Amino acid sequence: MIVSLFKRLWWAAGTGEAVAVSALDFSDFYTEWGFWFFLVQGIAVALTALVPPLPAEFMVITSGAMSAEGILPLSGAFVAAFLGCLVGDISLYALFRYKLIRIFLRWKWGRRLHRQILHISLHTGGISTWFGLLLVFAMPFGRSAAMATAGMMQMSWGRLLGLAVVGGFLWSWWLIGLGYVPAIATNLPPWGSTIAGIAVGTVAGAAIAFIGTRGHRIRL
């Protein structure tokens, strides 16, 4: 990729073409390094289950926008997000089911993370069922809350795997669509579609969280 970029710059300089125009064309970068982008995306998505503040969702939305432009394959964006989601969610479930989360409680950041997940779980409301846990996926930090709750509920592995597969499938396509649809429907560049997708996703997630917590307070 670097070699090809230098070749384009050299050719542009030799023909009198504006070097700046060629330097701003990074399409080959994403095409040739798509594998590494997806690898980093998958790892980030997996780690987000354990450390919710990580901005893995932004990467997934970006991959959707780039897929709409033909820069990255749509199938690759989905596979990276889906597999990362499965690995991270199942790992978090196991930590809470077998009380391995105690390992993280040795550190201050681990205790803070534990309190945050418990806080989300207690305030979502209506998540004592499989379907209720599935709905939590759409909320901010919902993946972590759903899997932590499933672990504390001692949900069976069979039901958990079903929850992880269905939840991961919907979560992945939802975020990819947030980047893909704006890019298809408008003439925005990938970065513009990403910002639009993030805005829509933030509003939708906040609305779902508000409805869920409001219903929980009413029942109380």
Long-range contacts of 52-60 (CB under 8 A, 24+ apart): 52/113, 52/116, 52/117, 52/141, 52/143, 52/144, 56/84, 57/175, 57/198, 57/201, 58/194, 58/198, 60/172, 60/175, 60/176, 60/179
* pLDDT given at position 168: 94
For residue 82, being part of any structural domain is answered with yes
Closest CA to 96 of 44, 50, 134, 163: 50
* pLDDT given at position 55: 76
CA separation for the pair 23, 159 (Å, rounded): 51
For residue 24, being part of any structural domain is answered with no
CA separation for the pair 201, 185 (Å, rounded): 16
For residue 156, being part of any structural domain is answered with yes
Burial (0-12, 13-18, 19+ Cβ within 10 Å), 121? buried
CA separation for the pair 77, 63 (Å, rounded): 6
Q: Is residue 176 a contact partner of residue 124, using CB atoms and an 8 Å limit?
A: no
Per-residue pLDDT of the chain (220 residues; tens, 9 = 90+): 333 433 333 333 444 443 333 333 434 445 566 788 899 999 999 998 887 767 788 899 999 999 998 888 999 999 999 999 999 999 999 988 888 777 767 777 667 766 766 666 665 554 557 777 887 777 767 788 888 888 888 889 999 999 999 999 999 999 999 999 999 988 888 888 888 888 887 777 667 666 655 544 444 4
* pLDDT given at position 169: 95
* pLDDT given at position 186: 86
* pLDDT given at position 32: 61
For residue 22, being part of any structural domain is answered with no
* pLDDT given at position 85: 95
CA separation for the pair 120, 138 (Å, rounded): 13
For residue 174, being part of any structural domain is answered with yes
Q: How distant is the alpha carbon of residue 25 from its chain centre?
A: 27
| Structural domain of 195 | 33-219
For residue 12, being part of any structural domain is answered with no
For residue 183, being part of any structural domain is answered with yes
The whole-model pTM stands at 0.74
For residue 18, being part of any structural domain is answered with no
Secondary-structure percent of the chain, ordered helix, strand, coil, rounded to 5: 80, 0, 20
Residue with tokens 């917590």: 213
Say how many domains are in the chain. 1
Q: How distant is the alpha carbon of residue 121 from its chain centre?
A: 19
